[in-house]
Amino acid sequence: MALRDSMRASAAQFIDPGEIIEAVMAAQTRLPMFAMVLALLGALIDSLLIRYRMIVVTNRRILVLDTGKFSVKKARSVLVELPRSTRLGPASGIWYTIPAGKEKLKVHRRFFSDIDAADNAIPATR
């Protein structure tokens, strides 16, 4: 099963009836490159501090789900709920930062097309 398909299946338990998932993307609380700058012991300590998140964009809201320390595939709980009108991009660079509650989430460029799709699907307000 592809990564996005696994993420959608795992996020389904947090979606209300009639709600449609428009996009999913993986995120993390720290950059892995920060760990590479540190010495070996520092890298091990830092890897324990990185938490993975799943950003789920539906037709009604944006959810930030906790997925733990080791994988982004298994959603565990809802951390933050944002209004659907929230713009996530435009994303640029290799890693893009999205503020979500008290955290600043790092999203890799492989999910930039999902950010663009989510922003383009924001309902127009009157």
Instruction: Read off the pLDDT of each residue in 56-68 and give the average, rounded to a whole number.
Output: 97
Is residue 125 a part of any domain in this protein? Answer: no
Could you tell me if 96 and 84 are in contact, meaning their C-beta atoms sit under 8 angstroms apart?
A: no
Is residue 96 a part of any domain in this protein? Answer: yes
Is residue 86 a part of any domain in this protein? Answer: yes
Q: Look up the CATH number of the domain holding residue 55.
A: 2.30.29
Following DSSP, what letter does each residue of 39-107 receive, concatenated? -HHHHHHHHHH--EEEEEEESSEEEEEEEESS-SSS--EEEEEEETT-------SSEEEEEETTEEEEE
Domain count, the chain: 1
Give the tens place of pLDDT for each residue, 37-51: 555 555 565 566 789
The domain containing residue 107 runs over which residues?
3-120
Lowest mean pLDDT among 8-12, 20-24, 54-58, 119-123: 119-123
Is residue 81 a part of any domain in this protein? Answer: yes
pTM across the whole model: 0.86
Give the tens place of pLDDT for each residue, 75-118: 999 999 999 999 999 999 999 999 998 999 999 999 999 999 99
pLDDT number for residue 31 = 64
Instruction: Read off the pLDDT of each residue in 56-71 and give the average, rounded to a whole number.
Output: 95
Is residue 46 a part of any domain in this protein? Answer: yes
CA distance 60 to 9: 18
Cα torsion 95, 74, 65, 124 to 10°: value is: 80
Is residue 126 a part of any domain in this protein? Answer: no
